[in-house]
Amino acid sequence: MDDTTTLNDIERLARLRLIRASNIGAVTFWALLERYGDATTAVAALPDLTRRSRSTRPLKLPTEQEAAAEFERAAVAGARILAHGEPDYPRALVDLDVPPPIVTVRGNPKLFALDTIAIVGARNASALGQRFARDIAYDLGAAGIVIVSGLARGIDTAAHKGSLATGTIAVMAGGIDVVYPPENQVLYEEIAAKGAVISEIQMGQQPTAHHFPRRNRIISGLARGVVVVEATLNSGSLITARIAGEQGRDVFAVPGSPLDPRAKGTNGLLRQGAILTESAEDVLNALGPREPTPKPKPKSDPKARAILQNTDALQREILKRLGPAPVEIDELVRLLGASPAGVSAALLDLEFAGQITRHPGQKISASGGC
């Protein structure tokens, strides 16, 4: 079944402008598309929506010229900007709870359609850990599995090197043209030539702390499972493993010595039910049949788009029921006894006013919540 989306140039430009606007992340992007039906209409409505919400945060919306320049910059770099659902957009990302609206890809996009396993681990990995990551990546690649990782030092680098000849995907924490760490520049170019590189961050942006969880979400989202080779407690690799579990992916962990702090995280994953992994065979045996192609995101509700009336009273009732802990929107609708479309409209106004925060899983909290 073909679930790709055909976008005209105007809508494609509008989608890029919308996701690059200030204070709009992926969650808000999809809420706006649900309300207005398409990005072109949502972009046109943003100034009025910001005024009506009495937001104190200025709206910074890229111009059409600025968005067009980003498309051109990507082309010069040998990359392509892909909107959700378009041909070559990674199909594994389509059914995520909050799919990236826009990704930039350099290299061979056909790799995204193949069976993929992520390999992640410590940046200050041991020599044995790096050897294991390289060897298991090579063996999985020989079995037809594409390896995805984050181009970081240590385990990531070893995994990419082990799978260069068979297929590897690097997920960038910054713009697709910003290599981090810098010493991986040669490896980056090799991956771009033989494999694929992907990022949801705007070109030219340096990686920052809040970019890495977004990168980790894509690493696990692209893969059928995540292999953690070495990880200290509270490491980014454990965050990737947690996200993988939430996404319904398998989590594999390589056991290590209890005397090595880099084994604390992986041994902890094993206690929590991760699949003990000592070879590629363990991963291949655990992988069941490939799941069906993800379904496209449901089309927006025209009734939701029609709700444009004053929602001040409903907003006040919503704020009365919100605290710092995230609450499911469906539960809020039930408590209020209001229409889902009306609540959706009120939430957008509150979000632009900076009074609520959206969370994955269709949850919201009062701003400042966890």
Alpha carbon distance, N-terminus to C-terminus of the chain: 40
For domain 304-366, is the CATH number 1.10.10.10? yes
- pLDDT value of residue 315: 78
The answer to whether the bond into 294 is cis (omega within 30° of 0) is no
Integer Cα distance of 197 and 108 in angstroms? 8
Q: Which residues of 213-232 are buried (b: 16+ CB within 10 A; e: fewer)?
A: ebbbbbbbbbbbbbbbbbbb
SS3 345: helix
Kindly list the domain boundaries of the chain, sorted by start residue. Answer: 9-90, 108-286, 304-366
**pLDDT at res. 277:** 97
Topology adopted by domain 108-286? Rossmann fold (3.40.50)
Per residue in 80-97, pLDDT tens? 999 998 989 999 999 888
Q: What is the pLDDT of residue 289?
A: 61
Which residues of the chain, if any, have pLDDT below 50? 1-2, 292-310, 369-370
Return the pLDDT at 96.
87
Contact 16, 69 (CB under 8 A): no
Please state, in angstroms and rounded to a whole number, the distance separating the CA atoms of residues 359 and 370. Answer: 9
Q: Is 15 helix (H, G, I), strand (E, B) or coil?
A: helix
User: Which residues have a Cβ under 8 Å from the Cβ of 169 and sit 6 or more positions away?
Assistant: 107, 111, 112, 116, 146, 147, 148, 149, 191, 195, 196, 197, 198, 222
Q: In 23-126, which ranges are continuous DSSP H helix?
A: 26-36, 39-52, 64-76, 91-94
Q: What's the predicted TM-score (pTM) here?
A: 0.81
